[in-house]
Amino acid sequence: MTVFLGSDIFRGSGYGSGHPLNIPRIWPVIDICRAQGWLPDKDFEAVPPATAEELECFHTRAYIDALLDAEKNQALDEIRSKRHKIGTHSNPIYPEIYRRPATAAKASLTAAHYLISGIHTSVFNPSGGTHHGFPDAANGFCFVNDPAIALTTLYKNTSKKIAYIDIDAHHPDGVQDHFSHLKRMILFSIHEEDRWPRTGRKGDIGGGNAHNYPLPRGANDADLNETLTHNILPRLMDYAPDFIVLQAGADGLEEDPQSGLCYSNHGYWSAVSAFLDLKIPILVLGGGGYNPFTTARAWAGVWGLMIGQNPHTTECVPASRSVLESLHFPHRLGKNVPERWVSRLYDRQ
């Protein structure tokens, strides 16, 4: 059984003008999947924000209280702002600064419980994947580290082996810091080399169980596929995890403004498929993705793969096209939207 977890909080909330995340990212995925006939009501579940107590499995109470106060007052005192990195250019105070990331975290927490109970064997949470967050501080646009909350939940409630795989263009520093030393855990990351946060260099094993594969600027589908085939999949299959958490950030796609990686969505989907095909209980998360057109199409395609559809050949029905045509992208790439960004899910072959 496969389920899509989301919430209407992602409709209309944003990081504020000028921020790279001030773009529509989650609701277009939901609306495209519905328009394509891929998301009947029975497969979608809305979740509320996580409580402070739920977030405490990873974050400090002082940090959570700072987020709550920042949401309530739309401001934070200087001492806590500095300590928790809240109210910076990267991590701005915005109206839903607690509720929005807490909702993404609740989805990852719920997903972990579904995988443990076996109610669902694959769960999609495109609002998740905020892999830079630290227990006591925001980091790199991430206020709550929802992958960490899923991993903690899986780790503490079972005695099973867990694999975390991250194909976002950026290295998951917040996750590696806190899980790479644990028994029953293995971490893999493919990311762009020498890109912020500049951790995860070749040979970096973190606390012992991290495997990092930085790719040079310009790396393409063939490079991604080679890393998967020769390095990650053999190690992963040898490890034989009981659960997989896959952070499927879409910022490695060629037309994303925040990385120099050049994957097409064919290569990206093939990577996701390689993990889905293992038939191991899996939570698939979103992550980075700063071009709303490429991100919405990539993640709608991920859901398609999870339910047995083939996004590699999927044309947009008129209602999906309308969703894409309505997207606002305040970046030079958004000035002249090419036809292929609104007419089909797949990139050129």
Q: Which stretch binds Zn ion (CB under 5 A): 25-33, 51-59, 164-172, 339-347?
A: 164-172
- Residue 168 near Zn ion by CB under 5 A: yes
What span, in angstroms and rounded, lies between the C-alpha atoms of 91 and 275?
A: 32
CB of 147 to Zn ion, least distance (A): 12
Point out the residue whose Cβ comes nearest to Zn ion: 288
Q: Which stretch binds Zn ion (CB under 5 A): 119-127, 176-184, 280-288, 326-334?
A: 280-288
Whichever of 122 and 189 has its CB closer to Zn ion, that residue is 189
Whichever of 104 and 115 has its CB closer to Zn ion, that residue is 104
The whole-angstrom distance between residue 331's C-alpha and the CA centroid of its chain comes to: 21
- Residue 192 near Zn ion by CB under 5 A: no
CB of 166 to Zn ion, least distance (A): 9
Whichever of 29 and 169 has its CB closer to Zn ion, that residue is 169
CB of 74 to Zn ion, least distance (A): 27
**15-44 residues near Zn ion, rule: CB under 5 A:** none
DSSP class per residue in 60-100: -HHHHHHHHHHHHHS---HHHHHHHT-SSSSS---TTTTHH
Burial class (CB in 10 A: 0-12, 13-18, 19+), 63: buried
What span, in angstroms and rounded, lies between the C-alpha atoms of 26 and 40?
A: 17
Which parts of the chain are beta strand (E)?
A: 2-6, 44-46, 122-125, 162-166, 185-192, 210-215, 243-247, 282-285
* Residue 94: closest CA among 5, 21, 147, 170: 21
- Residue 256 near Zn ion by CB under 5 A: no
Q: Which stretch binds Zn ion (CB under 5 A): 175-183, 251-259, 303-311, 330-338?
A: 251-259
Q: Which stretch binds Zn ion (CB under 5 A): 23-31, 230-238, 281-289, 308-316?
A: 281-289
* Token duo for residue 160: 């099973």
Among 120, 170, 211, 344, binds Zn ion (CB under 5 A): 170
* Token duo for residue 172: 């998951």
CB of 174 to Zn ion, least distance (A): 12
**What Å distances lie between residue 215 and 190, 236, 263, CA to CA?**
7, 19, 11
Q: Which stretch binds Zn ion (CB under 5 A): 168-176, 204-212, 238-246, 316-324?
A: 168-176
- Residue 174 near Zn ion by CB under 5 A: no
**299-318 residues near Zn ion, rule: CB under 5 A:** none
Size of site (CB under 5 A) for Zn ion: 6
* Residue 167: closest CA among 317, 16, 67, 275: 275
What span, in angstroms and rounded, lies between the C-alpha atoms of 102 and 91?
A: 15
- Residue 288 near Zn ion by CB under 5 A: yes
Paired residues of 44 in beta bridges: 4
DSSP state of 132: T
Whichever of 297 and 344 has its CB closer to Zn ion, that residue is 297
Among 251, 254, 256, 347, binds Zn ion (CB under 5 A): 251
Question: Cβ distance 128 to 108 under 8 Å?
Answer: yes
- Residue 249 near Zn ion by CB under 5 A: yes
State whether residue 32 is helix, strand or coil.
helix
Q: Which stretch binds Zn ion (CB under 5 A): 15-23, 72-80, 227-235, 246-254?
A: 246-254
CB of 286 to Zn ion, least distance (A): 10
Binding site for Zn ion (CB under 5 A): 168-170, 249, 251, 288
